[in-house]
Amino acid sequence: MASDLQFVQFVLDQIEPDLQMTHRKMFGEYGLYSRGKIVAVICDDQLFVKPTEAGRAHIGTPELAPPYPGAAPRFLITDRIEDGPWLSELLRVTYAELPEPKKRKKSKKKGDA
């Protein structure tokens, strides 16, 4: 089941502006990015945050679940989505611990030598 854009917007509305959150549709679901770095996904209208040690410390005892079959488990956030300051801090500490995205190499066009 694909996620609803209204749910995505609801989640983004809870997050403080300094995180510069954006979203990108991915196979009917959504990736959530902070300053160009993916920090969470929304699948089946559920929020899954990338697992980090800092995120685990912030949450306490996180619920782990895969966002879709075959995916690595992530922190499933259910009861604190409406707690904007708490959610924002979770995403802040997650962002800080994740590596920078790898630079993509430009692909050569056919016919270029």
Q: Is the pTM of this model over 0.75?
A: yes
pLDDT at 106: 74
Measure the CA–CA gap between 14 and 100, rounded to whole angstroms. Answer: 24
Contact predicate 72/66, CB 8 Å: yes
- CATH architecture for segment(s) 5-97: 2-Layer Sandwich (3.30)
> Domain coordinates of the chain in residue numbers?
5-97
Identify the CA nearest to 46 among candidates 92, 12, 8. Answer: 8
The CA distance from 61 to 64, in Å, is 9
Task: Compute the distance between CA of residue 64 and CA of residue 18 in angstroms, rounded to an integer.
Answer: 27
| Mean pLDDT split into 10-residue runs, the chain, 113 residues | 90 97 93 96 97 98 96 96 98 95 74 56
